[in-house]
Amino acid sequence: MIGEESSGEDFLPIEPAAGPVRGAIRPPGSKSITNRALVCAALAEGDSLLSGALGSEDTRVMLAALEQLGIEVEHDPRAATVAVTGCGGLLPRADLELFAANSGTTIRFLTALTTLGRGRYRLSGVERMHERPIADLLVALNQLGADARSETGSGCPPVVVEASGLLGGECSVRGDISSQFLSGLLMATPRAAAPVKIAVEGELVSQPYIHMTLEVMRSFGIEAQAAADLSHFTIPAPQSYRGGGYAIEPDASAASYFWAAAAITGGRVLVEGLSLQALQGDVDFCRVLGQMGCTVVEEPEGISLVGGLLRGVEVNMNAISDTVQTLAVVALFAEGPTTIRGVAHIRHKETDRIGDLARELRKLGARVEELDAGLRIHPGPLRGAELDTYNDHRMAMSLALAGLKIPGVVIRNPGCTVKTYPHFFQDLAALRDSP
């Protein structure tokens, strides 16, 4: 049976659904929006109240770091709110060791944020975090007058920032590794001493996350000028963030698992609180399922996905790369192969989300080809297996979906979902068992 995520078990068998999954669910708040709103609220003049905020490992490490920096935060997990007393752009404390666990948003956003302080900051994380790239962000910050470096010279954390504020000016940043570098720059540079111009080198991955960053900044009173193709940005500075109320959408990446459950089992699932016009680009995952044969219905309460006869597709998922693993599991149950392209950058996430994903899908009986920037999945006779998660929350949640149809699926290290969705397995069980 699907058990409680926080049980501490090393292995979790997944019980197949008795039939088509039907029901409604509201996932927790968006991690991506929560961490962006926390940064903007921390820098703001005055108080902010974030509603619908996610309470997970990734947001807790951000909250803990902000408290270390001297920002007053009050998190109410039951109410899903965070009250923040902004610092007006002047970080109260320095000479700190900040720990980001394996949260890419936290370490990248805080690296940019701490350049606005006065003093020394060291930012570190778990072992995998010390393998994840950050050099391009450091180069861009240093072009704006910062003093930030990779402690080991590897281009990865730990990061040491000797902060004295950002001067402003012009910088460039690569866009093909992570959009989080650019988001971190965008949120910090309004507090520079002079206007900033940012040029993006090469292809910018995950563009919807940049639109998200700009919209969250706008909600806190900051305007930034962006080229239509997001290749150039101009940020007037110095500007002041303004505190206020901010409502956070349910997490669209988390919603993908429940839409996928409907697709895999031929059921119908309503995800409440999201629309096809949501701030998060990952709502477009529904449209991909529509191409595969499902029906997408936008309702007053949210978005429903109705399963249909699944067929393989070829799709560029660069803009919705956090849902690659979810689609790959859906592809196991489709007629014909599914080809996913445009996602070379996901090899640098919590794990290699191309190579490691391919390895686990093969355990289930699929034939999987690794491509330069994606993978091709050929459904085969499927079988149960013990599946490794690589301490990657998205690997655990997506692979668990296979167990809704395939007997004998066991998830190793299910507790890694605490990173973004502590009660995922409880919610999946409740939906599976809905009458």
Residues with a catalytic annotation lie at: 322
- Residues with Cβ < 8 Å from 328, sequence gap 6 or more? 338, 340, 357, 361, 375, 377, 398
Contact call for residues 105 and 180 (beta carbons, < 8 A): yes
Question: Which candidate, 140, 145, 214, places its Cα nearest to that of 177?
Answer: 140
> Rg (Cα) of the chain, in Å, rounded?
21
CA-CA-CA-CA torsion for 14, 18, 19, 20, nearest 10 degrees?
-40
Question: Which candidate, 416, 249, 256, places its Cα nearest to that of 325?
Answer: 256
Phi/psi at 142 (nearest 5 deg)?
A: -65, -30
Q: How many angstroms from the chain centroid is the CA of residue 123?
A: 20
Burial of 9 (C-beta count, 10 Å sphere; 0-12/13-18/19+): middle
Question: Which candidate, 18, 47, 50, 23, places its Cα nearest to that of 36?
Answer: 50
